[in-house]
């Protein structure tokens, strides 16, 4: 039995963008984007989201960058950082699944139809298409963590928030998180879609 544990983080965010507000209006959830994170300094973050910060419609597998990616255009982004302890074997599996996505990122696009399925509680899985929470849930599932009794296509960011295995690390404004020790040189005041 593997007694050594590793920590994996999950970052939930609310940028306040028009697109985010639309989803929030429908879900009534405090956060509507989720990413998987490998360090508490938020240097290695993966999800399905905007490939280009100025365009929410061109989306797919991404490595998010807190300093130079989409978040810098939404300076008042609210976040919730959670952590989960996993075995070293599960951690290696998680890393391998992420590496596979990264090596094949050109194959993946955003599962827009799957979002409609979530709204109607009807799972819609399209080959090589994911939305953020579906992706993170599937990474955990493929790594041997059985966290939910539902398909990954029905897991929402709020399901991470309420799951008892995840522990709170931080909640507040993303750029107030004390471990973000880099200084942003130029952050626009106003966001955009």
Mean of pLDDT values over 59-86:
93
pLDDT number for residue 54: 82
**Is 143 domain-assigned?**
yes
pLDDT number for residue 153: 95
Confidence of residue 154 (pLDDT cuts 50, 70, 90): very high
pTM, two decimal places: 0.89
| Residue for token pair 């130079």 | 68
> How far apart are the C-alpha atoms of 78 and 15, rounded to whole Å?
6
What are the start-end ranges of the H helices in 73-189? 88-103, 112-119, 132-142, 157-162
**Is 187 domain-assigned?**
no
Longest CA–CA separation in the chain, Å: 52
For residue 133, what is the domain's CATH number? 3.90.1720.10
For the chain, percent of residues with pLDDT exceeding 90: 69
Residue 106 CA: distances (Å) to CA of 62, 84, 188: 10, 29, 30
Number of domains making up the chain: 1
**12-25 confidence digits (pLDDT tens):** 999 987 777 777 77
pLDDT number for residue 180: 66
**Is 193 domain-assigned?**
no
The three-state secondary structure class of 69 is coil
* Domain of residue 161, residue span: 5-176
What is the edge-to-edge ordering of all strands in the sheet holding 5-14?
55-64, 45-52, 33-37, 5-14, 78-87, 167-173
Q: Which candidate, 66, 59, 82, 67, places its Cα nearest to that of 132? A: 59
Higher-confidence residue: 187 or 7?
7
**Is 189 domain-assigned?**
no
**Is 97 domain-assigned?**
yes
**Is 40 domain-assigned?**
yes
Higher-confidence residue: 167 or 72?
167
**Is 192 domain-assigned?**
no
**Is 181 domain-assigned?**
no
What are the start-end ranges of the H helices in the chain? 18-27, 88-103, 112-119, 132-142, 157-162
DSSP code for 120: T
């Amino acid at each position: 039995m593997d007694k050594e544990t590793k920590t994996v983080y999950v970052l939930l965010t609310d940028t306040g963008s028009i697109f985010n507000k639309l989803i929030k209006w429908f879900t009534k959830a405090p956060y509507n984007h989720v990413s998987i994170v490998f360090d508490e300094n938020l240097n290695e973050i993966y999800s399905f989201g905007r490939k280009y910060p100025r365009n929410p419609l061109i989306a797919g597998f991404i490595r998010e960058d807190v300093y130079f990616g989409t978040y810098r255009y939404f300076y008042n982004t609210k976040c919730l950082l959670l952590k989960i302890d996993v075995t070293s074997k599960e951690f290696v599996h998680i890393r391998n699944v992420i590496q596979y996505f990264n090596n094949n990122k050109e194959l993946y696009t955003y599962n827009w139809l799957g979002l409609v399925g979530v709204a109607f509680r009807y799972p819609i899985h399209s080959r090589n298409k994911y939305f953020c929470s579906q992706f993170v849930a599937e990474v955990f599932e493929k790594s041997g963590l059985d966290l939910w009794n539902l398909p990954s296509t029905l897991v929402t960011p709020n399901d991470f928030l309420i799951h008892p295995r995840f522990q709170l690390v931080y909640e507040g404004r993303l750029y107030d998180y004390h471990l973000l020790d880099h200084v942003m040189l130029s952050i626009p005041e106003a966001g955009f879609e």
